[in-house]
Structure 1
Amino acid sequence: MKQALKLILSTLFGACIGFGAVMFCIVMFTGTSVSDFLEKMGNVQIVTLLLSCVLSMVCLILAVFVQIILHEAGHLVFGLATGYRFVSFRVGNITLIKDKGRFRFKRFSISGTGGQCLLSPPDRPYRQMPYFWYNAGGVLMNLLTAIIALILWVAFPKMPLALHLFLLFSFISGFFLALMNGIPMKAAGITNDAYNLIFMRKDPESRKYLAQQLSINAALMTGTRLKDMPEAWFPNDEITDYGNTFQVSAKAACGSLHIDRGEFKAAEKIFKELMQHEKEIAGLFVKEISCELLFLELVGDMAANEVEELYTDKLKGYVLRYKNVMSSKQRLLCALALYWENQPEKAKEIYGKVLRNRDRYLQQGEVAADLEIMEKMLREAGVEP
């Protein structure tokens, strides 16, 4: 979604640059001065042009934002209609969740996405799990609303300019987002809706992994830790395709389960196996795996060369970017402060901040595990939490 927004906005920006280039060429190669050019255009025309550009920009941004919401709403509506249950609905970094029967807003974000609708799967065998409408819902909603916007734009040409522009951009952005998600493709290793749909049709096993991931996510939201979830949700199957995000995610979940249990060697073995296929795995997974390997190195052998190799400026930026929405990043920062920087008070401060703000985190099961791990680290280092 973010890529779509960037492409649309860059197109409009390019149009503005093009206008500036035309003006520059006229001034440079026709002997016309800037003042003459502006005079010929007329001050009123220039003001009108500038206001039109600003209005167009505002309408475009609003239309794209609305279409992103509608895309995720499509997943929600079609998912609920086929037996899924509501878990969360995110636009940007604002996430709506259902917590103990009440709806609440929290902050969360995932690199490369403008929104996300997560549901828990229906209680049925994975081979019978409905997957088409849940995956296709976003594309269908974008197409439907784009067609409606076009019909209204054509049928009512004399409507206010702002509304006229909004409908036009709603059609363009809706159709564009439908194409972006309706044509099977990968972006930085992340698959889109159409790719997932086709993949699950060809490979029923991938439906199992999707159902398990959705179930794990829903349980984490409600405060259940990984170690307290059913063992069947963590199949330690051999990966046959490291480009398959479903298989990689399921394997990474097993590694996270071992960390929650305190089985750090077993977790390290899994994450190192995944890292051996770094070039095949989606970039987002590589960053998450790198974070966990760095943590495991810090609490384990803490070989200086390994820590320095893992803790690059790029990874540091990633950790700092997500530290306020993912408690696992605070756990890593706590280990860095305690073992690498030799600053126990800083580590204690990080733990205290997470403890005070624990309700703000999206995945309550994860934050409960991370708090316990940090507390144990501090106590073993002789620091009272």
Structure 2
Amino acid sequence: MKKKLLFLLSMLGGGIIGGAGAAFFLKNNPGAWTKTEVLGAAAAFLLAFVGQVVVHEFGHFLFGKLAGMRFYSFRVGFLALEIENGRLRFRLYKNLGYLGLCVMLPTQEGHNRKTLMLYMVGGLVLNLVSLALCLYLILDRQVTSGFGLWFACSTVFLAFVLFLANAMPIKNSSNIATDGKYLLDGFKQSPDYYSLADILSLNALSLSGEDPAVFMPRFLQRHQQTEDPTFKVNFLAYNYLYYLSTGQPEAAFQTMQEMEPFLEQYPPTQRKEIQKEQLFAYSFLQPAPAKAKEIYQQIETRLALGKSADDYRVQAAYALYIIQEPEKARHFISEGKKVADLSMMKSFVPLEKDLLHTLEKAAQEQHLETV
């Protein structure tokens, strides 16, 4: 209820500002609009929207650098600039993933309270700065008509909406916390804050391709330090991938079992991602056909839509060890190998390749046995 109220209030505020901007524009541009003016206004709004996403993420970058963090990636929509092998590279993603994302890596000691709060406030600050600048240009009549005025009015509106959307201290349905949530919990020094900070560290390090064997050990007991079931699952999921990466299948399976009692309380939009690995555990790590088939029925549609390496890897394991269809498994393995390098979580790309290779060998052996 609280989230809905905050959302409605932000939309109401944005609507008031947007309406005022539109009224100001129409007052200074009387008469019927031509087709060119309509297209110009639409282009100005779109440019202002992209601009505000860039401004917000640049704020995170700027304040993150001030906090002493290391830059890894700056992404807007499908386009990204990333550090790869010590060099800055341009990358085009096939999936949208994030509207905007600036990944800054923590120090070896992790995120302390001040550095993380400084990083988080940066996007909000630059949204407000751009809002104030464009508002000044409008009120001082530096821009009075045409594309410039519509762009300035659009920027004021969108900067306000993006500021409110990111400043509201909530977690969305995918369990992603807003900047405001981090800042409020940081001020309060609540238990949630330290969990959020560590999850952010794990996400950033995994995206950047850091070696899990290096950064994961200090987080392995982290799930025992929180009572929140969502955080427990998040930490345990990373533990599971770490154990797989370091050749500890029994520990990975035990971690999956430890996760299971908390899955019902995990956000529904993300639960199927964990259930994928649950299916893999009961297909490959310790095959249990009845359990695997039960899980498969719950996520069959999700798997059919998936096009990532882990989607294909899970389907290959199920086809190979549960329904024993090696030809189908080999198809999934082939598709998985094509997209393995495209995984966003670069730290676990070697794991995906190793598992696909292991499955490929097993599928070949099973195929030969049936010939």
Q: TM-score normalised by the shorter chain: which range applies?
A: 0.7 to 0.9
| Contact 2:110-2:201 within 8 A present in 1 as well | no
Tell me the distance in 1 between the aligned counterparts of 2:94 and 2:71.
17
Q: In the alignment, is residue 83 of structure 1 matched against residue 68 of structure 2?
A: yes
Deviation track 1:48-102 (CA, whole Å, cap 9, x = no partner) reads 3665554443332322222112111111110111110011122223332100122
Q: In the alignment, is residue 374 of structure 1 matched against residue 359 of structure 2?
A: no
Greater alpha carbon shift after TM alignment, 77-86 vs 210-219: 210-219
- Specify which of 175, 179, 182 is matched with residue 160 of structure 2: 175
| Offset, 1:332 | 1.7
1:38-187 to structure 2, matched below 5 A, reads 45=32, 48=33, 53-104=38-89, 105-107=91-93, 113-124=98-109, 127=112, 130-156=115-141, 159-187=144-172
Name the counterpart of 1:22: none
1:210-289 to structure 2, matched below 5 A, reads 212-221=198-207, 223-227=209-213, 229-238=215-224, 240-242=226-228, 245=231, 247-289=232-274
AA at the equivalent of 1:363: M
| Contact 1:95-1:108 within 8 A present in 2 as well | no
Cα RMSD after superposing both structures:
3.6
Tell me the distance in 2 between the aligned counterparts of 1:353 and 1:364.
18
Tell me the distance in 1 between the aligned counterparts of 2:220 and 2:86.
28
**CA shift in 2, pair 1:133/1:229, >3 Å:** closer
| Offset, 1:266 | 3.6
Greater alpha carbon shift after TM alignment, 214-223 vs 285-294: 214-223
Q: SS at the partner of 1:97?
A: strand
AA at the equivalent of 1:72: E
| Contact 1:275-1:286 within 8 A present in 2 as well | no
| Offset, 1:121 | 1.0
Tell me the distance in 2 between the aligned counterparts of 1:237 and 1:100.
32
Q: TM-score, normalised by structure 1?
A: 0.74
AA at the equivalent of 1:348: R
Name the counterpart of 1:331: 313
Equivalent pairs counted in the alignment come to: 341
**CA shift in 2, pair 1:127/1:191, >3 Å:** closer
Deviation track 1:4-32 (CA, whole Å, cap 9, x = no partner) reads 9xx89xx8xxx9xxxxxxxxxxxxxxxxx
**CA shift in 2, pair 1:291/1:312, >3 Å:** same
**CA shift in 2, pair 1:183/1:56, >3 Å:** same
Greater alpha carbon shift after TM alignment, 300-309 vs 179-188: 300-309
**CA shift in 2, pair 1:206/1:242, >3 Å:** closer
**CA shift in 2, pair 1:268/1:62, >3 Å:** farther
Q: SS at the partner of 1:312?
A: helix
Q: SS at the partner of 2:262?
A: coil
**CA shift in 2, pair 1:304/1:162, >3 Å:** farther
Q: SS at the partner of 1:276?
A: helix
| Offset, 1:169 | 0.9
Tell me the distance in 1 between the aligned counterparts of 2:279 and 2:39.
47
Tell me the distance in 2 between the aligned counterparts of 1:94 and 1:218.
18
Name the counterpart of 2:280: 295
Deviation track 1:232-285 (CA, whole Å, cap 9, x = no partner) reads 13224326443654x542232112222324444543443444443345323444
| Contact 2:239-2:252 within 8 A present in 1 as well | yes
AA at the equivalent of 2:183: L
1:291-370 to structure 2, matched below 5 A, reads 291-299=276-284, 300-304=286-290, 306-312=292-298, 316-317=301-302, 320-321=305-306, 323-324=307-308, 327-340=309-322, 342-370=324-352
- Specify which of 190, 196, 199 is matched with residue 176 of structure 2: 190
Tell me the distance in 2 between the aligned counterparts of 1:305 and 1:244.
23
Between the aligned residues of both structures, percent identity stands at 23
